[in-house]
Amino acid sequence: MINSLGIRDAEVIWHPYTQHKNLDLPIPILKGNGSLLFDDAGNSYIDAISSWWVNIHGHSNPYIAEKIYRQAQDLEQVIFTNFTHEPAVRLAERLISILPGNQSKIFYSDNGSTAVEVALKMAIQYWINKGITGRNTILAFENAYHGDTFGAMSVSGRGIFTNAFKDFLFDVVFIETPNADNLEEIKSIIKSKKEKIAAFIYEPLLQAAGGMNMYDAENMDQLLSFVRSEQIICIADEVLTGFGRTGSLFASESLSNYPDIICLSKGLTGGFLALGATACRQFIFDAFLSDDRSKTFFHGHSYTANPLACAAGLASLDLLQEKTCLDKIREIQFSHEQFVSASLSKSHGNFFLNPRFMGTILAFELNDGKNNYTNNIGREIMKQALGKGIYLRPLGNTVYLMPPYCITDEELNKIYRFILSIPDVLKV
């Protein structure tokens, strides 16, 4: 069958994170249902990564689709300055009621990167509005990823994603993720620069695009306690880790020190529509209240608080907070735990390195001597998996699963079987 849509695509489309030189034509997807994607040749693929981590309830969920349809009949978009609307207010109320850390205000944007940009600008202007000069440096983790806009790139780890733009990124104080051996050294670095640091941004417990790096909650709590004692604003990037991915609704719930600002996107709308949200505590908001209009937060987006996206967010929360969904998250976590301990850790000697899981996320490295994002082994695994009806997209030699919560046991076991077959597929 001629891939006519793929041919047309190749003429006019530039895909994200894609090197188009000698690239196979993209697969036309005609339909999605639950965990499955269906192409124009009648093949189905288990979406093992929730389409870049957004489709937490699977594809074409009828409940979310119906809520968007109903909202579209009443109001599809309105400027969000002098006006407001029910879906935006209700979604903010719902988020504030479940977010950790006594969040009090929601600022809407349209994706994870912009949610991060909003948080950074809030934190920097907070100190300016308070009349305190010089606190304009951001503290961040090495190997972090916070997005592809310039502020988000600046606070991300330097590497292949940012190298072309390194001369345009602002300076950041980078530290390692904390462990028992480096915690005191990290504290010393922070203490020596605390007068300049406006905020600390971090991905709680899991650095995703940086290689699914999972780190210890106890040491992170000690670090956050110290950072807070130095009066540094804490920003949790929960764009990925939010909405059940790490087992709890938000990864920050696993810590006793809560953030002052939280960035949200991805699973927020169940994968239906683009929406970002940045939550903040009352003291952040209060710093912008003034008769002096220069203290206004001058930031916005044309589609801020889009009513359709907010309706999708409300519907996704409805599903997420159902007992059946919460139980399914725990079941997936248990399945990952069993697979890691009973199968992956004991298979093929030392070929599967550092198998690990957190909530619905499972990850490991392939021992092929090339530990980086551009490792072609990831492309080969993706190709072989597609041939078995599974969509995986490894981060170089880091293979991970992040399935939608509606995945069936049969589908999950099919993915596990493919993983165990990788050494044979690659003829290791």
Active centre residues (catalytic) = 17, 145, 237, 266
C-alpha to C-alpha distances, 137 to 30, 96, 134, 204, 232, nearest whole angstrom: 47, 28, 8, 20, 11
Instruction: Calculate helix-pair angle for 307-320, 86-98, nearest 10 degrees.
Output: 40
- Residue 146 is classified by DSSP as -
Q: Would you list the DSSP string of 355-408? A: EEEETTEEEEEE-SS--STT-THHHHHHHHHHHTTEE---BTTEEEE---TT--
CA distance 399 to 128: 43
In this structure, the chain runs to a length of 428
Buried b / exposed e along 158-176 (16+ C-beta atoms within 10 A)? beebbeeeeeeeeebbbbe
For residue 336, which amino acid is it? H
End-to-end Cα distance, the chain: 33
CA dist., res. 221 & res. 158, Å (int): 25
- Here the tokens at position 66 are 């119906």
The answer to whether 274 touches 136, Cβ cutoff 8 Å, is: no
Rounded CA separation 87/310 (Å): 5
